[in-house]
Chains A and B, each alone.
Chain A
Amino acid sequence: MPAETVLHSDETLLTNHIDGNASAFPELMDRYKNDLLHFLIRFMGSRAVAEDVFQDTFLQIHISAETFDPSRRFKPWLFTIAANKGRDWHRKHSKRTVLSLSQNISGDGEGTRFVDLMEADQKLPDAQLLDNEQKDSVRNAVDQLPNHLREILLLSYFQQMSYVQIADSLQIPLGTVKSRLHSAVAAFSQAWATENNEDDA
């Protein structure tokens, strides 16, 4: 009779790690290595930096493991720490400049502009059909987003965190999370349009 494999929850694995189980922490990292690394690559814009922040994140998890409340879920805590580490890195390397899309597109730069995605839909290709050049355009569009918009877009779309979870993780008001996500989606839409207009030209 084959040995039955017991699948522990994330929270149990962390508890086991605190209790000295040597295999618990590698297993926990293995579960999230791709998910977290993808998030960090998109957030940091560089694989090398993302791997560095990945290591920082799990080191922090190891150091702070005993402060984790086992009654809460591990995954939001992990991505909160990762987002904080990523934000710290951006803060230390904040020489990067961001192109002002509003000036490139509209030229006026004043007042709120409302983006309707229904109107943009006609020009959107399916993600699965994008060639390498278009994938680079996606990357450029994402990389142009300011960090505070990008992290919310990534946490919301890829990690499917709710507004409440994001607000709790980033320690910002719920309304701010909503407005930032709205801005992030609008900005990504505009950045994508700008990238493709430039390519067409």
Chain B
Amino acid sequence: MTSGFEHLKLSKEDAEMLDQLVDVGFDMNQLEFLSTEDEARAKSILKMLGLLDAYPVEDASETLIDATLARIDQYEAQCSARLQIHAPQLETTKKGFRIRMPDLIGVAAMVLVTVSVFMALSKSARNQSFNNECASNMAMVGRGIFNYALDHNGRTPTEQATEVASLFGGIIPDRTDAELLAEQGYCEHHHLNCPGHGGEGGGFSYQTQSAESWDEILKQGKVFFLLSDRNPILDKLLANQEHDPLTPSPSHGALGQNHLRDDGSIVTGAAPVFGGDLIWVLDGKNNGIDIFLTH
């Protein structure tokens, strides 16, 4: 609340006299050695303050104390009621609080639910993290292949994939020699592995083409895949096991496979497409060009 009183002050003489009167409880008789003017000033102040005594007030009624005591009783009753509401929950023994079986089961259930939710979230976050790191590694390897090709007349580092010859009628396909990229400094060793794959010396599947095929591919202007995640179908085939065409890569949970295209972009496919040589070609069309991926 504001007012226009803030700028009002007593004169210096009045203020000093008022301070003296406050000190003696407004009993002027206790002030000694007052000059005539100070005495008149003190009387003026007391006269002014004496008007306050005329403020009309009445004594307390007979019921005020009873009403106050009733209010206190009401307060105490409310406090007691609150305690009674909470009392049944506090079952104790001489040794302390007693835990009942339903309480224990309830708490255990809550803990289990909390842990399972937390683990699901944690697993999902972990797989997403693997997926992101895998894509980053792919980009580094892809850049390494590109730089290697620049330094070697357009040829990519290749080696023969003898272990998959049976899948191609005895023909031994070529594949990218990823180790060579790392050894010659075109990428780091740790870039060669998908973090979700668990090592084994190489977590990626690599698309390999001979230099001659590259020229043919480039003439058609087709975007194809340089690198791809580990192929679960190929794993099954090599192990002579049943395979599911829609099986996603185990590397990132069920998030699918990452694929690095020759334009440098990375796409994620939910499941690999299997069809003869069209392994890992997502649109299922090779336009007569023999494209395959091995790892």
Residues of A within 8 A of B (CB): 25-26, 29-30, 33-34, 37-38, 41-42, 47, 51, 54-55, 58-59, 62-63, 90, 94, 96, 98-103, 109-118, 120-121, 124, 126-127, 130, 134-136, 138-139, 141-142, 144-147, 149, 153-154, 156-158, 160, 162-163, 178-179, 181-190, 192
Contact = CB atoms under 8 A, between A and B. Distances in A.
Contacts of A103: 4
Contacts of A179: 9
Nearest to A63: B75
Contact of A146 (B5, B7, B51): B5
B54 A120 contact: no
B52 A157 contact: yes
Contact of A181 (B1, B4, B18, B51): B18
B71 interface: yes
Contacts of A58: 68, 72
B9 A186 contact: yes
B65 A26 contact: yes
Contact of A29 (B2, B9, B22, B68): B68
Contacts of B90: none
Contact of A34 (B44, B56, B60): B60
A115 B10 contact: yes
Contacts of A192: 48, 51
Contacts of B18: 181-182, 185
B26 interface: yes
B53 interface: yes
Given A138-B55, A139-B55, 4 more contacts: A33-B65, A34-B59, A54-B60, A138-B52
B89 interface: no
Interface in B2-40: 2-15, 18-19, 22-23, 25-26, 40
Which 5 pairs from chain A and chain B are nearest by CB? Answer: A100-B4, A102-B4, A187-B5, A33-B60, A121-B44
B68 to A, nearest CB: 5
Nearest to B24: A160
A116 B72 contact: no
